Chain A
Amino acid sequence: RTDMEETEFDDILDDWFIESLKTYKDLHVYQLEHPTQVIEWTSGKTVCVAGFTSSKNEILELRLPLKLFADENKGLCAERDFKVVHGGFTDAPVRFSNCLNLQVWDLGGDDSDVIRRTGSVDGSRGVSEGGSRIAARLSSQPQVLHGAESAGVRLTQLTSGQTVYTLETDSADPLSSLHFVSDAVFLAGCSNGKVYIADTRTSAAPQLSPPPPSSGESVLWWTDASAGPSCLDPSSCRIVRLSSCGQTVISDLRNPGGAVSRAQLDVQTRRCNADDVRVSWAPALDDCIAVSGFSGAVQIYSSSVWTTELQEAQPLFEHRGHAVSSQSDDGVPVFVTSHVWHPERPRTLLSAASDGSVHVWDWVDQSAAGC
């Protein structure tokens, strides 16, 4: 890169950072050695990230910077770094915290910082390119829901390896996600837009929510379900479905076939990797959805202003940090590989991108209405 290009890049970056003084409350930018597709909370202050190359990968448990949480004496805390609390190695790529064979990892205790594999659960029998999806259930006995296709989703108890529940559906649709909406009820979101709703306590057939209309052959869908304190009554949960062309449909669990509201998002579809797209409800903000994976940005939308008419929606906020700060040498644009909301802090998110960057950001809501 020439000096000129270097200076231009620096200037653009400086501009973005100066702009960020108004648009973010907190901003932290990190560079991992290898990109991750996984960011999973392991506690209120720690996340796990892992590489996804086909050979050896690292799994890291990172503690968020103390400064982020030092609300009272924030000024006196200078600590801005991630602390690597635990680290380990795996031979397989880690996507959606899974592999074709589920591996169980033990995050070392206080006296060691090494993560070791303690066991594995036989993966789904269905051969699917993306591998299994999983959802962990934090009940008294750790259980994990996993599968690659709708017909074959199993709930397995980790300690005994026993299958506690199996989802039975008419067709074997490839899955894009699995979510628990309560202790016993879960959703299986399929990439063709179907959503199955099942109750692990009964042997009754799962409810099926068909794909939204105008879904074409090559259109892929991703799902998220809002869970949390507002969902003590599972029937008041909402499902959001996002398609690869940006169409978004929100349904109520009480009426999964219908649509509460819709919107057309501007996702600038270039080539998107199915594994990278994420759509998620904000756990601590009403009606807010985050979308990533189509580009180098994470977009936040407020669905409270959406109607049943399909209309274009503008994001409430767009985090462009990854795109702006990426110096890609081979001309391949950077794209976001994962994002998560902080479980309690309303506007704090973590996002990761294909260049290995990880950002922690707390955005400022500049609109009057909205989240």
Chain B
Amino acid sequence: MPEIKVTPLGAGQDVGRSCILVSIGGKNIMLDCGMHMGYNDDRRFPDFSYITQNGRLTDFLDCVIISHFHLDHCGALPFMSEMVGYDGPIYMTHPTKAICPILLEDFRKITVDKKGETNFFTSQMIKDCMKKVVPLNLHQTVQVDDELEIKAYYAGHVLGAAMVHIKVGSESVVYTGDYNMTPDRHLGAAWIDKCRPDILISESTYATTIRDSKRCRERDFLKKVHESIERGGKVLIPVFALGRAQELCILLETFWERMNLKAPIYFSTGLTEKANHYYKLFITWTNQKIRKTFVQRNMFEFKHIKAFDRSYADNPGPMVVFATPGMLHAGQSLQIFKKWAGNEKNMVIMPGYCVQGTIGHKILNGQRKLEMEGRSTLDVKLQVEYMSFSAHADAKGIMQLIRMAEPRNMLLVHGEAVKMEFLKGKIEQEFSIDCYMPANGETVTVTTNPSVPVDISLNLLKREMALGGPLPDPKKPRTMHGTLIMKENSLKLVSSEQALKELGLNEHQLRFTCRVQLQDPHSDTDTLHRIYTHLKSVLKGYTIQHLPDGTVMVESIVIKVSSSTEDPNTKVLLLSWSYQDEDLGSFLSTLLKKGLPSGLC
């Protein structure tokens, strides 16, 4: 039976590291290649030994697809391609291709420079890895090879995030990566057509939650900023160059306008340039609202938000500053942090996850005394706030996506299997499809029922349609005689003669003969004529001929009459038919065994 195999890789049940292997139609595909941030040893990488015990992965994988630039989806990519070894194509969207290397390099710097790791990928490896990338456009079908094709769909979540549709022959799989079903201030919602894949693979990290609304999270953010500003404090918001930063800026701008606030908001220059650059490049990836405003004005010409100069950090009074990098591990955001940390009126708002080893990670864990370079200690007296703005699909979102795509089977990865029985039941009940929840390292095999397309030769079709007659029943499916030929990966149904010709074979003829005894006090010729009349009245629509050589032919069936030697009234009918006319032949012999009706002339 045809089947598709799915195996989520990785060591242990931990969520947050994505790497899924799919075997479909003889092709092997790796979906995402994420790193687990919590471990310092090999457990942070997916377990590639599942693919092959030693050696490069090139021969075992047809392609690698990366859904978006978050490190838990692409963090292990350079390790996989350059240290384990893979030379095949790596597919990702344009924004992902542009942003991935920046985050990977940042991440590498923290891990190697800050934490002194040795077994880690180098800057050159990141560059070499990115050379293997083939960028994807939305809704554009890409042929990986003759049989494998992929297509990217909009996923929301972050700039450039995609869901991917994978097809081999008539079997298909959709992988969602991380997605979001509700639009936010700068991104739209995920969308896919009714592609009816055999399997829909979805992350299920938040499958057992019901998410608090976006506006409430924003409200919290505004509340914190406002409270700080009101008491004369300074607010530092460390951000990455993209995504969340724009959204928060738009939010603050709206708020400042409404509340008529005067405190200055700054955006560090490096950020502005990069962000502007990327947004210009990828404007089609943002939502309607952003695109509209972008047309009217430059993305970063806010009324209340200005470019930052490092000397401003020493200015008295309240202010808000957006600065990179996002985890406070180096650069401008760290400099500002050091200046403001000692004042309890100030605040730092961390808008996302921080890697272990960074200052961001330490303060989010409650550390209030930090060791800085040169043995100095920094007292952290300012308020530390952790806000999560990332948009993920929850249980409701998963159900919505299933309704959109109409998959034949559902597969949830990276959840807590034991705690998802309810969701599994819900999916199975509402959609009558199977729902699988494999653990890491466990393979799920899904049997598919693909339809096989077959061409039929026109001649054959015409011939079958020409076979008339009300008997046998035209409503019932009828047996068709033809030959199925498989040539150059396509299937054809042709007439037997054509098939024999193509194969250079001779046709053998099978003929059946049958003798039927009949009582009929007429001459042989008259009996034959009577038979002819009888058959003509019963078998309307069939070709019946009374031939001069003394036979009656029904289609290709031959009927001859002769008398028995003992009794001239006992007629012996000889019926002869070919294999093709078996049905009709049998019918005729049964009919004639019943005798001829008396009313015939």
Contacts and interface: CB of A to CB of B under 8 A. Distances in A.
B210 A20 contact: no
A73 B364 CA distance: 10
A84 B425 CA distance: 14
A354 to B, nearest CB: 17
A28 B206 CA distance: 17
B211 A114 contact: no
B258 interface: yes
Interface string B254-284: 1100110000000000000000000000000
A30 interface: yes
Nearest to B423: A87
A56 B388 CA distance: 34
Which interface class (under 10, 10 to 19, 20 to 34, 35 or more) fits B? 35 or more
Interface string A312-342: 0000000000000100000000000000000
Contacts of A127: none
Contact of B212 (A32, A65, A112, A325): A65
A289 to B, nearest CB: 26
B384 interface: yes
Contacts of A31: 210, 213, 396
Given A20-B219, A33-B399, A76-B364, A81 B212 contact: yes
Interface residues of A, number: 39
Given A21-B219, A30-B213, A77 B386 contact: yes
B422 A84 contact: yes
Interface stretch (B122-130, B413-421, B437-445, B573-581): B413-421
B208 interface: yes
Given A33-B399, A113-B419, A75 B216 contact: no
B209 A83 contact: yes
Contacts of B464: none
B256 to A, nearest CB: 11
B418 A87 contact: no
B4 to A, nearest CB: 28
A274 interface: no
A151 interface: no
B388 A80 contact: yes
B387 interface: yes
A121 interface: no
Contacts of B383: 75
B210 A29 contact: no
B217 interface: yes
Contacts of B426: 58, 87
Given A75-B386, A76-B366, A30 B422 contact: no
Contact of B215 (A17, A76, A84): A17
Contacts of A78: 386-388
Given A21-B222, A114-B422, A32 B208 contact: no
Interface string A156-180: 0000000000000000000000000
A111 B383 CA distance: 39
A77 B215 CA distance: 18
B226 interface: yes
A13 B215 contact: yes
A113 B387 contact: no
A73 B210 contact: no
B82 interface: no
Contacts of A27: 216, 219
B223 interface: yes
A232 to B, nearest CB: 38
B239 to A, nearest CB: 16
B47 interface: no
A136 B25 CA distance: 58
B53 interface: no
Interface string A100-123: 000000000001111100000000
A274 to B, nearest CB: 28
Nearest to B422: A87
Interface string A1-44: 00000000000011101101100000111111100000000000
Contacts of B384: 75-76
B535 interface: no
Contacts of B208: 83-84, 113
A86 interface: yes
Given A75-B384, A76-B366, A81-B394, A111 B209 contact: no
B385 interface: yes
A247 B399 CA distance: 44
A58 B422 CA distance: 10
B215 A30 contact: no
A226 to B, nearest CB: 31
B218 interface: yes
Contacts of B423: 84, 87
B429 interface: yes
B429 A89 contact: yes
B395 interface: yes
Given A76-B386, A81-B209, A81-B211, A28 B216 contact: yes
Contact of A28 (B212, B385, B395): B212
A18 B254 CA distance: 10
A78 B360 CA distance: 14
A62 interface: yes
A312 B208 CA distance: 46
A113 B213 contact: no
Interface in A35-82: 56, 58, 62, 65, 73, 75-82
A90 to B, nearest CB: 12
A88 interface: yes
A89 B429 CA distance: 10
Interface in B376-399: 383-388, 394-396, 399
Interface in B404-455: 418-423, 425-426, 429
Given A84-B395, A84-B422, A114-B425, A18 B210 contact: no
B206 to A, nearest CB: 7
Contacts of A75: 224, 383-386
Interface centre among A33, A65, A79, A113 (most CB of B within 10 A): A113
Interface in B179-233: 206, 208-213, 215-220, 222-224, 226
Contacts of A65: 212
B206 A81 contact: yes
A361 to B, nearest CB: 10
A233 B193 CA distance: 65
B215 A21 contact: no
Contacts of B420: 113
Given A28-B212, A84-B209, A112-B421, A17 B386 contact: no
A29 B216 contact: yes
A46 to B, nearest CB: 13
A77 B222 CA distance: 17
Contacts of B419: 113
B219 A17 contact: yes
A106 B399 CA distance: 25
Given A21-B226, A76-B364, A30 B210 contact: yes
Contacts of A111: 418
Given A75-B386, A84-B210, A18 B259 contact: yes
A366 to B, nearest CB: 16
A80 B226 contact: no
B221 to A, nearest CB: 11
Given A18-B258, A21-B219, A80-B212, A88 B422 contact: yes
Contacts of B226: 21
Given A18-B259, A75-B386, A112-B421, A81 B210 contact: yes
Contacts of B425: 87, 89, 114
Given A17-B215, A18-B258, 9 more contacts: A14-B258, A21-B219, A27-B219, A29-B212, A76-B386, A80-B220, A83-B208, A84-B210, A84-B422
17 contacts: A18-B222, A18-B255, A21-B222, A21-B226, A28-B212, A75-B384, A80-B212, A80-B220, A81-B211, A81-B394, A82-B209, A82-B210, A84-B210, A84-B395, A87-B426, A114-B422, A115-B422
Closest 4 pairs (CB-CB, A-B): A87-B422, A80-B212, A29-B213, A78-B388
